[in-house]
Amino acid sequence: MDSAVAVVAVTLMAYALVDRRLRQTPISGALVFTAAGLLASEQVSGLIASSVGEHGVAAVLELTLVIVLFTDAMGAGLGPWVTEAPLPGRLLGIGFPLTIAAGWVLASALFPGLGVWEAALLAAILAPTDSALGLPVINNQRVPPLIRHALNVEGGLNDGLALPFVTIFLALAEEEERTAGRGHAVSVFLRALVASGAIGVALGAGGALALRWSMKRGWSSRPWQSVALLATATLAYALADLIDGSGFIAAWAAGLVAGLLARESLAAAQQMPQDVAELGVSVSFVLFGALFLAPALEHVTWTTVAYGLLSLTAIRMIPVAVSLCGSKIAPQTVAYVGWFGPRGLASIVFADLVATSGLPEQHQIVPVVMLTVGLSVVLHGLTAPWGAQRYGRWYAAAAARHPEMREATQAPPPTRLARPAKGSRT
């Protein structure tokens, strides 16, 4: 355990020394942290043994996802982007379900050993994109604001939208394997979606209104306002977990409601939770490389590689193209939005939930997910600066010829899903 902590600390320190310099290169933070984890893994140097996974690694990953879900949902709100910029609505309302459906069909075809619900579970786990890994694209000023905004909102909300699918498909798969009693899926639905959602709504509303009341009277300082937000997310997760519900859904619902009620008044207080989430994501990718990706690479087959590549291309890009039909978006933009849908922390944590569920097919599902995330870290990381520059040049020339083009439409005020420009490549 001590060596694992040392590896994480050294990696964070080393990256901090060259962070700004690396922004000018195709080497992303996620790539650095994942590579460090791989090198420190039991399969390579042995600095991080697989037994470390028994010492709270799952808790670190889950708590990080809780904070990410809460802050992303709080930063998004449901306000101007719905009416002023319907592109995120198309991506989330049409593209996202189609992505799960396409992944479900191909998983059934490539992995005949998986049952119907196990194939659906694999598809749902790999459906959400990661706004943290997409920062070089979201923050690149060459990309039109409307497109950056659409990718930002999509990446911030689709992990929360994936939660009900993952939860229900896992329950149905367990029921199919007869590891749970009859009607287990219905019970899970009520606890995970209904009860957990209600807990999140109540805590998000109560916490936001209490903070607004306290701030108006000058009773609370900014640092402790940030702590209150972190406490709200953690409490929502803990209470839902106590009833065997979904703490992730509770945290996401709490953030969404808090954002609706007090996003502007608590904008400054959100910065510390976002920084905590960013640090947690960095640590998570070191652990991902050491404890998940390294073992998955030992069981690579042509079908796992094929599905991983299809997940990043056809399974993502075709639904995106369908969802943007009629939006007057140019084909170049459709391809750009379709490609830059990186997979990240949510998929890792969802796969870890499957790994601890006792599902017999976990040994087939988990390596596919980890390999796909690993491919995404490399491929999306390396192509982000090049892709943004090339697309930016195309957009500048096209907008000069056709200033009325759809991509040139003014975007709503920026949300706080993505980190400030300190993480961008310009």
CATH number at residue 277: 1.20.1530
Q: What is the pLDDT of residue 357?
A: 85
Percent share of the chain, pLDDT over 90: 50
Cβ–Cβ under 8 Å, residues 168 and 185: yes
Residue 29 in tokens: 């933070």
Q: pLDDT averaged over the chain? A: 86
For residue 399, give its domain range. 56-403
Residue with more model confidence, 239 or 192:
239
44-53, 123-132, 306-315, 331-340: segment of lowest average pLDDT? 44-53
Q: With bands split at pLDDT 50, 70 and 90, how would you rate the model's confidence at 250?
A: very high
pLDDT tens digits along 2-21: 788 999 999 999 999 998 88
Which whole-number Å values give the CA distances from 224 to 140, 203, 270, in the listed order?
A: 32, 17, 11
Tell me, yes or no, whether 187 lies in a domain.
Answer: yes
pLDDT tens-digit map of 69-116: 998 888 765 555 454 458 888 999 999 999 999 999 999 999 998 999
Quick one: CA torsion of 301, 305, 283, 257, rounded to 10 degrees? -130
Note the pLDDT of residue 416. Answer: 47
Residue 149 pLDDT: 83
At 25 the pLDDT is 82
In a domain, 98, yes or no: yes
CA-based nearest residue to 330, from 407, 400, 392: 407
| Confidence band for 185, pLDDT divided at 50, 70 and 90 | low
Taking the model in full, what pTM does it have? 0.88
- The verdict on residue 32 lying in a domain is no
In a domain? residue 39: no
The number of distinct structural domains making up the chain is 1
| Residue percentage of the chain with pLDDT more than 70 | 89
More confident residue, 182 or 228: 228
Q: Is the pLDDT of residue 421 over 50?
A: no
* 26-55 pLDDT tens trace: 888 899 999 999 999 999 988 988 877 666
Q: What Å distances lie between residue 47 and 55, 213, 297, CA to CA?
A: 15, 50, 18
What pLDDT does residue 3 have?
Answer: 86
- What's the pLDDT score for residue 293? 95
**pLDDT reported for residue 55:** 61
User: How much is the pLDDT for 24?
Assistant: 73
Digit-coded pLDDT (tens) for 344-365: 899 999 999 998 888 888 999 9
Residue 298 lies in a domain: yes
For residue 18, tell me if it sits in a domain: no
Residue 379 lies in a domain: yes
Tell me, yes or no, whether 265 lies in a domain: yes
How far apart CA 8 and CA 100 sit, in angstroms, is 34
